[in-house]
Amino acid sequence: MELNQWERLQCFGHRLQLAIENALKALTPVSTKQAVERAVGVCKKVASAFSKSWKKKRELAKAQAVLGLPPHQLITESPTRWGSRQMMIERFLEQENALSQVADKKTRHLVPSWQDVALLESLNKALGPLFEFTDALSGEGYVSVSFLKPVLHLFNNEILNQKDGETELTKAVKDGILKYLNEKYDD
């Protein structure tokens, strides 16, 4: 820090989280942004409905056993917990078949459409690989500044590099994250 005459270097985990939020806010057209918000909203509602009802939890456990799915509980997004949105989406996708079987008349409106699932899969594909970097590079008990340049290189050349077969949403989110991080760390 002293050699480069940096007065301050913001936490990478925080910057990464801001990059993700900015990429999602910058989605165009507006209909795509709204569709993503709706799909994430469905995840939140489902997680909330299942966290508040022991009956729904019991039914979910039965469906998980029948379908051979891991007996995992749903995860609720927490705005103060970095990466919780991605964890919520990943768990939702993992348990999607069981959730569809458990839906009753009261929760049928919570069953996601195929479009919601496609959007969530695209988001998961873009955000999934970033999760571990958030925690690893935001530690206070150890030095992590030396990881910054190699991680940015890895993001630019592999992890957030566009791949054949990716959806336009996955590509847009990856591009938005890279643009933000590259601007913030250009020096």
Would 3 be classed as within a structural domain?
Answer: no
Would 152 be classed as within a structural domain?
Answer: yes
pLDDT tens digit string along 140-175? 777 777 888 899 999 999 999 999 999 999 999 999
List CB contacts of 139: < 8 A, sequence separation 6 or more: none
pLDDT tens digit string along 10-19? 778 888 889 9
Residue 128: domain span: 12-184
**How many domains would you assign to the chain?**
1
Would 78 be classed as within a structural domain?
Answer: yes
Residue 16: CB atoms within 10 A of its CB come to 24
Closest by Cα among 142, 143, 178 to 157: 178
Q: What is the pTM of this model?
A: 0.85
Would 6 be classed as within a structural domain?
Answer: no
pLDDT tens digit string along 102-140? 876 666 777 788 999 999 999 999 999 888 787 677 667
Q: List Cα–Cα distances, 51 to 39, 45, 55, 125, 133, in angstroms.
A: 18, 10, 10, 26, 28
